[in-house]
């Protein structure tokens, strides 16, 4: 992974579809090898199914699906297009048809798990073929599109918490030649080795968290690439992408560097001021008067210990100007990862209305601390940064007014019902942002549903792909939720205090400080 040593700037992965292929391509082609573009791998199946139902403007999805079929002699792409494409797009008030949820089943196809016998071998669970094919195809498509027309590097970002689709989307991305993988929101130990197995199309297993299992009982989802499309994807070995783990503190760096399986190739050291999800504070959760989790000196990484681990690292979270970039290099980092500055650039997938709303707040002089709050809204239980924009889920009245529904399910937990007389249990899925009764009926505590907001629907609306819901005799879009980092200095500077638009290439020039030579 020699190329990593030249990477000074990583455009951070921003889900869902904020860092889409257009943004990643704009970054990667600007300074090939120096600036890397990262596509988000989260929710791509849902995104692509919706783009097809919008009539696939520009024909990009269809081109990418066609490329998959051509390169590998399969019909997966065609099947997906035939199933979801609507010529000219759906009617504006028509609902999107959803991508199939990631439902796992035991071998017999039911949802009953027998009592664990004496032999507590791990129980295999399976996803439907249509789900795995869609995940592989959309992982391929997003990277294939991002890589068109330049020699720059493209990475893909994943959240470990969204554990089930990860391996299939990663495999699809590898089929398209992805250059790197970045995994955050959880400990990714084991995944670097899975990445290597997948280069030879070997079977990998995702061990699945299942709540209320018996002591010693475990579950896994096997993935054998030879079983997809009669093994046609497996004819040539794949190039291994670099693997970077997102961590906040030195302890996980040290543990992962000595992994029993395979160490990552490097780390993103992400501060809790970063946009998106953040690591929870060390120690017991203490909140301020506004309900924001409080961080302390214990949450600051020991950079000397990180350097001593001997693997390259990039600093993330509030590294928004050239001086901070130089400081990161002085700490021993290879470079920085930046999200928020890119999210507000014209190249990102964030819906223009939300870019304007944020720039308007900046123009008005709203302080960073008032514009972005750290919340416990995310069903993952991780802190999540939310921009305080009227009309979005940040607004209490919008949250109260929304009917809870869980129709996408990326953040669902899996669990087992109380045992029946014969000891068998039903496998269920639940989300703490779903209807409260449903959550409680699946052994959940009502307390854990408080504050939780539907990020799946919210984040899709943020990129203009929101579901249509019936309301007050008419229809409207699911309310959006916008995430940003705490430090908005870079956006303020690049947008001239909220007055001007800027592009990804301006962010790169601003950080690497060669504005004059780049124009």
Regarding 42 and contact with ligand FMN (CB under 6 A), the answer is yes
Residue 281 or 458 having the CB closest to ligand FMN: 458
Regarding 76 and contact with ligand FMN (CB under 6 A), the answer is no
Residue 40 or 449 having the CB closest to ligand FMN: 40
- The values of phi and psi at residue 433, to 5°, are -100, 0
Q: How far is the CB of 348 from ligand FMN (least distance, A)?
A: 8
In sequence order, the β-bridge partners of residue 314 are 268, 335
Using DSSP, state whether 206 is helix, strand or coil: strand
Regarding 485 and contact with ligand FMN (CB under 6 A), the answer is yes
Instruction: Compute CA distances 358 → 23, 297, 489, 495, 504, whole Å.
Output: 19, 30, 13, 11, 17
Contacts 24+ apart (CB under 8 A), 73-81: 73/232, 74/229, 74/232, 74/233, 75/229, 76/133, 76/136, 76/137, 76/228, 76/229, 77/137, 77/141, 79/133, 80/48, 80/49, 80/52, 80/133, 80/134, 80/137, 81/52
Regarding 324 and contact with ligand FMN (CB under 6 A), the answer is no
Note if the bond before 168 is cis, omega within 30 degrees: no
Residue 238 or 242 having the CB closest to ligand FMN: 242
Residue 99 or 480 having the CB closest to ligand FMN: 480
In sequence order, the β-bridge partners of residue 414 are 210, 429
Give the binding range for ligand FMN (CB under 6 A) out of 123-131, 199-207, 266-274, 436-444: 266-274
Match 């269920």 to its residue by tokens: 428
Q: How far is the CB of 15 from ligand FMN (least distance, A)?
A: 3
Q: How far is the CB of 447 from ligand FMN (least distance, A)?
A: 27
Q: Which of 317, 383, 444, 458 binds ligand FMN (CB under 6 A)?
A: 317
Give the binding range for ligand FMN (CB under 6 A) out of 79-87, 142-150, 314-322, 423-431: 314-322
From residue 231 to residue 250, what is the string marking binding to ligand FMN with x (rule CB under 6 A)?
---------------x----
From residue 9 to residue 38, what is the string marking binding to ligand FMN with x (rule CB under 6 A)?
---xxxx--x--------------------
Instruction: Compute CA distances 52 → 45, 410, 514, whole Å.
Output: 11, 20, 40
Q: Which of 484, 491, 504, 511 binds ligand FMN (CB under 6 A)?
A: 484
Regarding 263 and contact with ligand FMN (CB under 6 A), the answer is no
Q: What is the rounded CA–CA span in Å between residue 300 and residue 269? A: 10
* Cβ(36)–Cβ(155) below 8 Å: yes
Q: How far is the CB of 19 from ligand FMN (least distance, A)?
A: 7
Q: Which two tokens stand for residue 123?
A: 């129980």
Footprint of ligand FMN on residues 103-162 (CB under 6 A)?
A: 157, 159
For residue 110, count other CB atoms closer than 10 A to its CB: 11
Query: Residue 357: which of 375, 377, 343 has the closest Cα?
Result: 343
Regarding 394 and contact with ligand FMN (CB under 6 A), the answer is no
Q: How far is the CB of 16 from ligand FMN (least distance, A)?
A: 7
Q: What is the rounded CA–CA span in Å between residue 71 and residue 322? A: 42
Q: Which of 240, 276, 415, 498 binds ligand FMN (CB under 6 A)?
A: 276
Q: How far is the CB of 104 from ligand FMN (least distance, A)?
A: 23
Question: Residue of minimal CB distance from ligand FMN?
Answer: 339
Give the binding range for ligand FMN (CB under 6 A) out of 132-140, 168-176, 267-275, 498-506: 267-275
What is the longest distance spanned by two Cα atoms in the chain? 75
For residue 212, how far is the Cα from the chain centroid?
Answer: 27
Which of the 8 DSSP states describes residue 80? H
Regarding 466 and contact with ligand FMN (CB under 6 A), the answer is no
Give the binding range for ligand FMN (CB under 6 A) out of 268-276, 371-379, 405-413, 506-514: 268-276
Give the residues lining the site for ligand FMN (CB under 6 A): 12-15, 18, 40, 42, 157, 159, 184, 246, 270, 273-276, 316-318, 337-340, 343, 483-485, 487
């Amino acid at each position: 992974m020699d190329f990593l040593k030249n990477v000074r700037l990583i455009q951070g992965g921003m889900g869902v579809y904020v860092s889409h292929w257009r943004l990643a391509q704009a970054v990667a082609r600007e300074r090939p090898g120096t600036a890397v573009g990262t596509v988000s791998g989260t929710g791509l199946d849902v995104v692509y199914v919706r783009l097809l139902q919008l009539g696939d403007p520009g024909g990009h999805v269809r081109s990418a699906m066609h490329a998959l079929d051509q390169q590998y002699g399969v019909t997966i792409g065609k099947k997906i297009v035939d199933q979801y494409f609507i010529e000219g797009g759906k009617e504006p008030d028509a609902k999107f048809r959803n991508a199939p949820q990631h439902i796992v089943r035991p071998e017999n196809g039911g949802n009953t798990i027998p009592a664990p016998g004496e032999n507590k071998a791990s129980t295999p669970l399976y996803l439907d073929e249509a789900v795995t094919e869609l995940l592989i195809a959309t992982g391929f498509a997003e990277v294939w599109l991002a890589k068109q027309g330049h020699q720059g590097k493209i990475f893909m970002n994943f959240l470990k918490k969204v554990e089930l689709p990860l391996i299939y989307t990663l495999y699809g991305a590898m089929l398209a030649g992805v250059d790197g993988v970045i995994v955050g929101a959880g400990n990714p130990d084991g995944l670097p080795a899975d990445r290597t197995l997948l280069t030879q199309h070997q079977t990998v297993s995702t061990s699945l968290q299942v709540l209320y299992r018996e002591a010693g009982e475990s579950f896994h989802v096997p993935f054998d690439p030879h079983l997809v499309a009669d093994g046609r994807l497996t004819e040539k070995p794949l190039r291994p992408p670099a693997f970077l783990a997102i961590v906040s503190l030195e302890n996980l760096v040290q543990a992962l560097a000595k992994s029993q399986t395979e160490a990552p190739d490097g780390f993103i050291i992400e501060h809790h001021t970063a946009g998106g999800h953040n690591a929870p504070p060390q120690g017991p959760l203490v909140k301020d008067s506004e309900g924001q989790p409080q961080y302390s000196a214990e949450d600051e990484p020991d950079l000397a210990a990180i350097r001593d681990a001997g693997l390259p690292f990039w600093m993330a979270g509030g590294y928004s100007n050239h001086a901070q970039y130089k400081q990161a290099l002085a700490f021993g980092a290879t470079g920085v990862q930046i999200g928020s500055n890119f999210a507000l650039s014209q190249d990102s997938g964030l819906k223009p209305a939300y870019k304007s709303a944020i720039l308007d707040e900046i123009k008005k002089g709203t302080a960073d601390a008032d514009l972005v709050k750290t919340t416990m809204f995310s069903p993952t239980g991780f802190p999540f940064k939310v921009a305080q924009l009227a009309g979005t889920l940040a607004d209490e009245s919008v949250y109260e007014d929304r009917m809870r529904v869980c129709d996408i399910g990326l953040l669902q937990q899996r669990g087992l019902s109380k045992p029946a007389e014969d000891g068998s249990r039903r496998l269920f899925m639940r989300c703490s942002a779903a209807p409260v009764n449903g959550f409680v009926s699946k052994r959940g505590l009502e307390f854990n549903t408080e504050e939780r907001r539907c990020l799946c629907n919210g984040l899709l609306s943020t990129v203009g792909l929101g579901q249509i819901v019936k309301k007050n005799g008419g229809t409207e879009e699911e309310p959006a939720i916008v995430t940003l980092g705490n430090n908005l200095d870079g956006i303020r500077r690049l947008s001239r205090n909220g007055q001007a638009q800027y592009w990804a290439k301006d962010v790169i020039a601003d950080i690497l400080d060669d504005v004059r030579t780049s124009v």
